[in-house]
Amino acid sequence: MAIDQPFAINIEHMGFRYPDNADVSFTDLNLKVEKGTRFGLFGPNGAGKTTLMNLMTGVLAVNEGSIKLLGKETGKQNKEVNKLFGFVPQDFSFYQELSPAENLEFFGAWAGLNKTEIINRTNELLHILGLEDVSNKPVGKFSGGMKRRVNLAIGVIHNPQVLFLDEPTVGVDVQTRYAIVSYLLKLNESGTTLIYTSHQLNEAEDICEQIAMIDQGKIITQGHIDDVLKAHNHESLEELFINLTGKAYRN
Amino acid sequence: MFKLWISIKKDVRILLRDKVGISLMFVMPIILVVVVTSIQNSTFQLVNKNKLPIIICNTDTGKASAQFIESVNKIGMFNVSQVPKERAKAITDDMHSKDALLGIVIPSNFSSEVNNKAKSASDKAMAAFSGQADSIKTTIKPTSASGIDPLTLYYNPVLQESLRFSIQGAIRSALQLVQTRETLRTLYYASNEKELPKSLENEMLNSNTTINMLPVSKDGTRTTPNASQHNVPAWTIFAMFFVIMSLGGSVVREKVSGSFIRLKTLPTNYLVGLLSKQLTYLAVTLLQAAVIFSMGMFLFPYLGLPALNLPSDLFALFLVTLICGWCAVSYSICVGVFSETQEQSNGFGAVSIVILACVGGLMVPSFAMQGIAKTMANFSPMHWCLQAYYTLFLEGGKLKDVLNNIGSLFLITIVIQFVTYLGLKRKNLI
């Protein structure tokens, strides 16, 4: 069974370039993310984090090599692959006119859940993420933190085995950040692999076990967070980040 | 089916919460239909019942000018009022002050010139009768090429060209009548040395063949189409294409918010989403048509407008409306896919449907178009739909009479759907 593969993500000799943007491209990229781990992907602006995440989720198709998610190749087995993971994009990618419950009903159905499963998961998630009181109000009127929680709830409604998170806590208050991080750790305890990217490096230290830093389409370091910090003789991810990617502005 | 059902529920919810979109799709077209039909009906009433106001300034003192004014009155198309001859130079001011759309100044030598021309014609006729046509010389010389100084007809620029031509024709016939009467009288007097009897004059002048105008319909009925029959179907098509204001924006919002990308990561084909949107908004277009047709049938008589009569082939009407709605929905999605912002979608959408309406013959009938405009009409889906509606509503046509239009509309819709698919592929949205 492909699900029994040891790697949640296995990227081999992957090459990719945008037809109209030569600034971001990958050549012969290799990366393995073990199942059940909490993996962080970091890099400065324009390093290719979002592009790599889009490649791993099959939104973009690779030009060379392959990306396998739990043993299934993205791009070729998309329908099967898409059942295995959840995606929490940085943007509020849902319908602002609808309530959290209505959004969850729609995305739950598209994720392949039946009516009963949708009702049960909706009630569970609204409770966990503190959205019960506003479950029938249009999301458009919510605060940024509440919208982040709705965004996360949609990404996990179908209990994915791998969860991709693109800046899941950007622009939220301390309470919401704490609630989201706690929930993510709980998800991981139950076996969900987290693939996380953010510029909040302090938060990343709380969440991630394994990390990779990329810059200009290349992996510049990767491994267990403690091992990486030790190898580069740094105390924090922020120090390591500045040391490896420099202090110059990135656009 | 569950995914499709949930998607339709989602689209209906979003639609119902888009108050501006709903008002643009229902309220605005309804107002448009009522206003345009009222205006067209008023034009009809103006010509046929209310009469066009006309001011005549007669600077002549003879009988012919008085007869001319009487003839203009008898046409039945004008509401004649006269101003003193001193106002000849200020007749345009009088037109403004009296709200007259037309003004005529009769020249001071009108009667004498009519008489001269009649005498000249009579002399020639008499000479011809007696075989001296080549030798006789007329002693009366006309003062202008036509024999009479031209009448000056002033008009308000609001009068459309077609109406102006009708007016010119009517005035010309009144003028012709005066001239003919005078020629007959002169000729009769020259040959009989006595006045033309009134009864004979009337008989000679009033024996014109009347024109009986009858509409030609495919079902053999002779119902004269009214302003509602012309306008309600035409502007219903326009209303159906107005869904672009809601649907185009909805597609753009999905793209901009990133929902499209999120949907792409889910194990459901986006065609389900497209089908859901098409079914939801197709229902909207059918509802629009039902509301506007019902208004035409039941509300218009209360507003003093002629009632809309539905065609006898209701199935054909449904089919034409269905395919027209589908085309409008497909076009809206296509514009939404290619637009980067909601402003682009709304702006381009609104302008493009007005252009399609112009090209399609909603504003100027396509039979009046020439050359490239006539060719371009074939590319507007509104043209084919309008032709189909006119065949059903005005000509009493059946399904077989509109199959050609339905086929063309279907073909255009398929092309639009294909372009949409290419757009989605190119933008990496599916």
Look up the ipTM and state it: 0.86
Query: What is residue B419's predicted lDDT score, i.e. its pLDDT?
Result: 95
Six-digit token string for B90: 């200020």
Q: What percent of chain A has pLDDT over 70?
A: 93
- Which of B3, B246, B259, B429 to substitute to test the interface with A, most A CBs within 10 Å? B259
B219 within some domain: no
Six-digit token string for A187: 């998800």
Query: What is residue B132's predicted lDDT score, i.e. its pLDDT?
Result: 61
User: Chain-wide mean pLDDT for chain B?
Assistant: 83
pTM over 0.80: no
Same domain, B280 and B382: yes
Q: Which residues of A touch B258 (CB under 8 A)?
A: 89, 91-93
Same domain, B71 and B177: yes
Same domain, B168 and B38: no
Q: Which residues of B touch A112 (CB under 8 A)?
A: 266-268
Test B2 with A85 for CB contact under 8 angstroms.
no
B224 within some domain: no
Query: What is residue B138's predicted lDDT score, i.e. its pLDDT?
Result: 47
**pLDDT band at B281, cuts 50/70/90?**
very high
Q: Which residues of A touch B17 (CB under 8 A)?
A: 97, 138
Query: What is residue A1's predicted lDDT score, i.e. its pLDDT?
Result: 43
Contacts for B185 with CB less than 8 Å, ≥ 6 apart: B118, B195, B196, B201
Test B262 with A87 for CB contact under 8 angstroms.
yes
> What is the signed CA dihedral for B320, B322, B324, B326, rounded to 10 degrees?
-150
Same domain, B394 and B298: yes
Least confident of A131-140, B187-196, B248-257: B187-196
At CA B65, angle to CA B59 and CA B71, rounded to 5?
A: 135
Same domain, B197 and B237: no
Six-digit token string for B147: 């024999």
Query: What is residue A106's predicted lDDT score, i.e. its pLDDT?
Result: 94
Taking residues B304-309, what's their average pLDDT? 85
For tokens 């197709």, the residue is B282
> What is the signed CA dihedral for B272, B276, B277, B283, rounded to 10 degrees?
150
pLDDT at position B110 over 80: yes
Q: Using a CB–CB cutoff of 8 Å, tell me whether A220 touches chain B.
A: no
B214 within some domain: no
Query: What is residue B351's predicted lDDT score, i.e. its pLDDT?
Result: 92
Same domain, B28 and B103: no
Query: What is residue A154's predicted lDDT score, i.e. its pLDDT?
Result: 93
Query: What is residue B408's predicted lDDT score, i.e. its pLDDT?
Result: 93
Number of domains chain B contains? 2
Same domain, B234 and B381: yes
Closest CA to B107 of B70, B146, B152: B152
Would you list which residues of chain B are within 8 Å, Cβ to Cβ, of chain A? Answer: 2-3, 6-7, 9-10, 13-14, 17-18, 253, 257-259, 261-268, 272, 428
Query: What is residue B362's predicted lDDT score, i.e. its pLDDT?
Result: 77
**pLDDT band at A248, cuts 50/70/90?**
low
Taking residues B24-36, what's their average pLDDT? 84
Query: What is residue A251's predicted lDDT score, i.e. its pLDDT?
Result: 58
Test A93 with B261 for CB contact under 8 angstroms.
yes
Min distance B3 CA to chain A CA atoms (Å): 6
Q: Which residues of A touch B259 (CB under 8 A)?
A: 93-95
Min distance B250 CA to chain A CA atoms (Å): 10
For tokens 């699900």, the residue is A3
B151 within some domain: yes
Query: What is residue B216's predicted lDDT score, i.e. its pLDDT?
Result: 66
Q: What percent of chain A has pLDDT over 90?
A: 23
**Could you tell me which CATH class the domain A2-245 is placed in?**
alpha beta
**pLDDT band at A150, cuts 50/70/90?**
very high
Least confident of A228-232, B37-41, B214-218, B256-260: B214-218
Helix (H) or strand (E) holding B290: helix B270-294
Same domain, B265 and B364: yes
d(CA B111, CA B108): 8
Amino acid at B72: V
Taking residues B46-60, what's their average pLDDT? 79
CATH number at B125 reads: 3.40.190
Reported as a single tens digit per residue, the pLDDT across A212-244 is 888 877 888 888 888 888 888 777 777 777 776
User: Chain-wide mean pLDDT for chain A?
Assistant: 85
Taking residues A203-210, what's their average pLDDT? 83
Same domain, B282 and B339: yes
Taking residues B131-160, what's their average pLDDT? 62
Looking at the DSSP bridge assignments, the partners of residue A73 are: A68
B140 within some domain: yes
Same domain, B28 and B65: no
Taking residues A8-30, what's their average pLDDT? 83
For tokens 């994915």, the residue is A160
**Cβ within 8 Å of B, A 10-69:** 54, 57-60
Q: Using a CB–CB cutoff of 8 Å, tell me whether A100 touches chain B.
A: no
Q: Which residues of B touch A60 (CB under 8 A)?
A: 428
How many beta-carbon pairs below 8 A join chains A and B? 80
pLDDT at position B134 over 90: no
Q: Using a CB–CB cutoff of 8 Å, tell me whether A82 touches chain B.
A: yes
Q: Using a CB–CB cutoff of 8 Å, tell me whether A91 touches chain B.
A: yes
Q: What percent of chain B has pLDDT over 70?
A: 88
Of B10, B261, B267, the CB nearest to A112: B267
Same domain, B101 and B38: no
Same domain, B152 and B86: yes
The whole domain housing B328 covers 2-42+229-426
Test A59 with B17 for CB contact under 8 angstroms.
no
Test B257 with A112 for CB contact under 8 angstroms.
no
pLDDT at position B13 over 90: yes
d(CA B118, CA B412): 64
- Laid out side by side, the sheet with B78-83 consists of B78-83, B52-58, B102-106, B152-155
Six-digit token string for B405: 């239009």
Reported as a single tens digit per residue, the pLDDT across A73-104 is 887 767 788 888 999 988 888 999 999 999 99
Query: What is residue B385's predicted lDDT score, i.e. its pLDDT?
Result: 92
Of A60, A79, A92, the CB nearest to B267: A79
